[in-house]
Structure formats: structure tokens, C-alpha cells
Structure 1
Amino acid sequence: MKTKTVTNFLKKACLFALAFASFSIVAQEEEEEKEKNWFDNFSVSGSVDGYYRYNIGAPNDNSVAPGTSFANESGFALGMANVILGYEGDKVGFVADLVFGQRGEDAVFNSDDSAQIVNQLYAYWNVSEKVTLTFGNFNTFLGYEVISPTGNFNYSTSYMFSYGPFSHTGLKADFVLSEKWSAMLAVMNPTDYTENNPFDTYIVGAQLGYSADKGSAYLNFRYGNEGEPGEVGPTFQADLTTGWDVAEDFYLGINATYLSTEPQEDGDAAGFYGVALYPQYKTSEKFTLGLRGEYFAQYNGGLVVIDGTDISTPFGVDTEGDGSVFAATLTGSYDIGDLTLKPELRVDSASEDSFTDNDGELTKSLSSFVLGAVYKF
């Protein structure tokens, strides 16, 4: 009888041990699978870039350059190192986009020194299949070009990009309206004030998008008091960005923008407007040739900045504060694995004297050559 009792006890103990071991194995496998899925949803990407720039018929001492952002140093110069950390879950995720170097510092110029490495920093929530909320600092939704050189065909940037917004901090909601149509609404700090809001004013943004197999088109808006010191009224900007595969090897992009800032007191509105075409032809698997032809104008001194006795403007204006520039940029893009070389010839021609030639005389045009090198990982 005692032997039978012990045997039954051993059987139960063995069954319990087997069940516990099975439970432990299943729990461990689930934990390992959870950890594996988290790692699978985590990503690291980015780029590094640099360039060489040479003025043709003008000084090469950094005193003369096109009035646009980033690629304006003479000789061999650094772009930026860009590291993007991201997590994409079923419902939530984040992006931490960090930049180092001259291009990065120029892109986040309103940040304090301690935060000049942050290009984007936001979290998002997929509320449903049709609604996504994003909170934090994100690059602008306006315009054709972007801060990262991996997102642009031309290495140098346009006037419309350089004087439009770079980044915003706020809350935006993206909506999927149908298979091809989308929309976006946002409430944001004054443009490019990404660290905080020192003015207690806000701007609103909106976008209507259409996307198809051959291309896409986006109509963008922003409106509000930008909160800059001085007597200024609300700023309104409308922007159209579109690009289409016209043929198998031929692509055409178009960007048009208009901005107006109303005065709070008597006076006329000031601002700028422009249009650019981006035709690109792919000659082989590794090489593509593209042209950016841009017309850009300011009116009533919309881009003139007066700081004490110093007056700055990207190009000359007449006595009414009006001026314009036409910039033609021919760029080749040659891929060597993850490295892309971009030789570029650019000519800027302004309506007023805007540049300096080798004789120290003011002139309306500037020709320059750029060789950019961009590595993407």
C-alpha cells in the first residue's frame, strides 16, 4: 500500500514537473519571440556626405556663393552625418533623426547649441487604418526638396526650399481618404522654432494629396503669425509639389509656391513666389541626368533682413524691394553601390546686381561647379 502511494505521488510529481517545464519553455519562447519582434521593428539608417565647390569667374574665399542653403562653402567641404533611429510597431512608433556637421547645423539653426543634433524627434500613433497622429518635431511637408541629400536629386538646393520652412514642432493628423487620396491637418509652433515656442503664437498647416502608380501631387498650406519680433501680421503660404513618370526613363517634377506676410500697420504685404521644373532622364542603371530650372522672386523686400546697419538679402532688389533670380542647375547622378556621386553645374542670374566677380565688381550672374558625394546606409 505504501509502495502504491509513493508511486502515485511520483507520477503526479513527474506530471507536474513536465507541465511546469512545458509552461516554462512556452513562456521562454514567447518572450524570445517578443524580443525578436521588437528588434525586427527597430531600424537604423542614415547617410554621410561632403562636396567640392568652385566658382567660375568669381572669388573662391566663401564670400561669393548662391543665395541658397547648405552647399555654399568653397573648396572641399563637409555636409553632414545623419543617423536615423526608428521603431515601427503595430500601433505606435517613433523616429529620432540626428545630424552632425555643417549641413545639419544649418538645418536646425533656431536650436540651442546643446540640441543642434536633432533634425527630427517624434512619436506617432496609428489610431486606425485611416488616421495617424504624430507629435513632436518633424521636417516640413511643404516643398519639393528636403534637408537630407539622399532625398534630393540635385546636390545644391533651390531658393524655394531655402526660404520655405525647414521643420515644425507640433501635432499633426494624417488621414487616408481613399486608395489614392490623403489629407493632413496640423497645429504647430512658429516655423523652424523646434525647441520651444517663445512667442505664444501658433500656425496651422494643411495638405491634400493624390498618389497613383505614375506619380503624386500635393497641395500644401500654412497660415498664422510666425511670431517674429517686430510689427508683422499673419503669414500665408500655398505650395504645390508634384512629380510623374512621363515615360519609362523620363521623370518630371514641378514645384510652385507663394508666400505673403501682412503688415499689422499701414503698408503693403511682402513675400516671395517661385516655380521650378525638375526633368530627369535615366541613361543607364547607374547614371541619371537631371535639370532644375527655377524662377524665384521677392516683392516689397519680402526676404530683406535689416539688423542695425547691416542689410542682407539672397539677391539684389530695386528701390521698391522687388527682385528675382533664375537658377539653372544641371546635375548628374552616378551610383556606385550605396555611394552616389553628383557632379553639378549651376548658373544663377539675378535681375539686380547680386554677386561679385574676380575684379571685385558687382554682377548679376554667378556660375559654379559642385561635386557632391553621398553615402546612404
Structure 2
Amino acid sequence: MKTIINTNFGKNLAIAIFSMLSISVFAQEEEETSKFSFSGSVDAYYRANLTAPNDEDAIAPGSSFANLPGFSLGMANLVAAYEGEKVGFVADLVFGPRGTDAVFASPMYSMTGDIINQLYVYWNVSDAVTLTFGNFNTFLGYEVISPVANFNYSTSYLFSYGPFSHTGLKADFDLGSDWSAMLAVMNPTDLTEFNPTGDYAVGAQLGYSGQFLNFVYSQSSYEIDFTGGFDLSEDFFLGINAAHFSADDNAGSFSGVALYPQYAVSETFSLGLRGEYFMAGDFFGSEITGVGADDSGDGSVLALTLTGSATIGDLILKPEIRLDSSSEDSFIDNDLAPTKSLASVLFAAIYSF
């Protein structure tokens, strides 16, 4: 009897130890798994012209994305990430018209169906230094590719004519007292899959308390950009973006400024206005379509975009009205006559997870 009791005790003890070990291993696995995250968004929209046709003669503002007529697709964005204590990665994939535009239809590998928006690894060398290697979205500008992070659904000319993404190595520095800096060596602008030229671009950023001065030099061209914003009150925010681009050998230039006043009407609804003035000239030897280019390729546009943003759980609804007014006859009216202005409306639905 004693032997049986001891045997049962031994079995129970072994089971208890095994259970504790299993729980410990499971907890460790769960802790490790929790470092992985999966997020993304899907979006669709409806766009129509008020002062121009909406049939086969339909035109749109000369900025990126949200330019298709009628009921149209944005993109599906899937982001897998791992965040370790020192190292991690981000794999950001895009599908749909907005995604295709964002990666320029992957010009080097378009036949393979390349859909990479971002793909990079990083190393937190210390509390003050992080190294990032791979393909990452640009650090210039107020707006981004993902519609979740933009207040306005349609995008600005400044965003559209600046770079979307870079591939290379960058180092971010936390300088303390709200100061930060970044230095980067990258492929030439928009060559995100590999480098076929042997040339390289350099980038730099200086930041203070949410205000950033950015610089990129690439292939005998440079762009300087300021991006920032201020909380003027608890409910009122003002965003700012200003940039200038210039290329050697009269290959083209652009300059512009955009203001983004946004007011929170309630916890679930906000109103925002983007007011932008944009000038461009003989951009790489071709006229600038949609920004008022004259016979010499120079032109300007004033674009006003009023957007409402209503939040229902993880769903965001954005009604929008936009007016583009150019220095030359860049658009057409309902009679197909040339005109300097275009008014359009848009309604977008964005779900993020």
C-alpha cells in the first residue's frame, strides 16, 4: 500500500512538474508570439466631377490616388511586423489600384506581380540609435500612402510629386530634449527594388517636438521639405507642409505649400481643410498635366479640399469636396471646352484592423 501511494505521489508530482513546465513553455511561446503583429486596412470610394463629364471624357485632379471615376477601389494593405527587444522587421504589402500607383507598378519586376510597399529590418543599437535597412516609405511630406493615416482621402500635389519610398540604410538618432536626427544612404529616388545606375542618394532629417526639416539629394537633384503641425487648442490642429525640388540642367522644379486646419466637432466627427498652392516647371522635359502648364511647361494650381471624417468603430467614412484652379486651361467643362478649374466630390470608406 505504501509503495502504491508513493508511486501515485511520484506520478502526481511528475504530472505537476510537467504541467508547470508546459505552462511555462506556453507562456514563453505566447510572450514571443505576442511580439508579432498583423494589421492593415481596406478602402473603396466613389468620385464624380461636378463641372466636367463623368463618362469616357472624365478627367481628375493631377495628384496621385483617388482619381478613378464612379465606384472605385483603393487598396488592401496587409502589414506583418515583429518587434523584439533589439531587432525587428516590417513586411508591408499592398493590393489594388492605390497600391499599384504607390509602388509604380513595380517597374523592375512588374511581370512577377511585386506588391511590396515596405520591407525592412531594424536594429535598436541603443536607446538613442536605430538602424533601418531595406525599403521604407519616404520621410518627406505631411501625407503618406496609407489612407488610414491621412485626414484627406485625396492627396496633395506636394505628396504626389515627391518620392513615395526609398531603399537603403538609415540611422535615426534620439538627441534628447525633443530633438531627433536621421541620416540615410539610398538608391536614387523611386528605384526601390535594386540599383541599376550605380548612383546613390543621401537623405537627412532634423526634428524638434513634431517639426521636421527634411533633405534629399538624388541624381543631380535635391528636395528640401518642412513638415510639422501645432495644437492650437484641444480641438483645433494646424498641419503644415512646404517643399522645393530642383534638378540640374533645367530638368525641372516644383515648389509648394499646404496648410491643414482640422477641427474635432465631436469624439467621432471632425472637419478638415487642405489648402495648397503648387508651382511646377518643365518637369523632366515634359509639361505638367493638371497643374496649369503653359507652352513652356510652367504652371501653378490652387487646390482646396474640404473633408469630413466620421468614425464608426474601426470604420472611417470620409465625404469630400475638392476644387482645383490652375493658371492655364488644364481641365474641361461639361461642354468639353477648356477651362481653368475642376470641382469634384468624393465619398470614401476605410476599414482598419
Kindly indicate whether residue 315 of structure 2 is the aligned counterpart of residue 339 of structure 1. Answer: yes
Kindly indicate whether residue 255 of structure 2 is the aligned counterpart of residue 261 of structure 1. Answer: no
3-state SS of 2:176 partner? coil
Tell me which residue corresponds to 2:264. 282
Query: For residues 266 and 273 of structure 2, what CA distance do their matches in structure 1 show?
Result: 17
Residue deviations 1:300-338, cap 9 Å, x none?
x12653xxxxx6633232243321000000011111111
Counting matched residue pairs gives: 345
Residue deviations 1:74-117, cap 9 Å, x none?
10000001111111110111111111100000000151232432
Query: For residues 18 and 121 of structure 1, what CA distance do their matches in structure 2 show?
Result: 50
> 1:1-377 alignment to 2 at 5 Å?
28-61=22-55, 63-109=58-104, 111=106, 112-113=109-110, 114-211=112-209, 216-225=210-219, 234-263=220-249, 268=250, 270-299=252-281, 301-302=282-283, 305=286, 313-377=289-353
What is the CA RMSD across the aligned residues, in angstroms?
2.2
Query: For residues 89 and 158 of structure 1, what CA distance do their matches in structure 2 show?
Result: 36
3-state SS of 1:177 partner? strand
1:375–1:304 CA distance, 2 compared to 1 (3 A): farther
Counterpart of 2:229, as a letter, is: G
Offset, 1:376: 0.9
Query: For residues 122 and 259 of structure 1, what CA distance do their matches in structure 2 show?
Result: 27
3-state SS of 1:37 partner? helix
Larger deviation, residues 197-206 vs 28-37: 28-37
Query: For residues 26 and 261 of structure 1, what CA distance do their matches in structure 2 show?
Result: 66
Query: For residues 185 and 356 of structure 1, what CA distance do their matches in structure 2 show?
Result: 45
Residue deviations 1:196-251, cap 9 Å, x none?
1111111001001112xxxx1011000021xxxxxxxx111000000111001100
Q: Is the 8 A contact 1:53 1:369 kept in 2?
A: yes
Bigger Rg, structure 1 or 2: 1
Q: Is the 8 A contact 1:190 1:197 kept in 2?
A: yes
Query: For residues 209 and 98 of structure 1, what CA distance do their matches in structure 2 show?
Result: 28
3-state SS of 1:36 partner? helix
Q: Is the 8 A contact 2:135 2:165 kept in 1?
A: yes
TM-score w.r.t. the length of structure 2 is: 0.92
Offset, 1:17: 9.4
Q: Is the 8 A contact 1:189 1:201 kept in 2?
A: yes
Query: For residues 302 and 49 of structure 1, what CA distance do their matches in structure 2 show?
Result: 31
1:123–1:115 CA distance, 2 compared to 1 (3 A): farther
Counterpart of 1:302, as a letter, is: F
3-state SS of 1:200 partner? coil
Larger deviation, residues 170-179 vs 152-161: 170-179
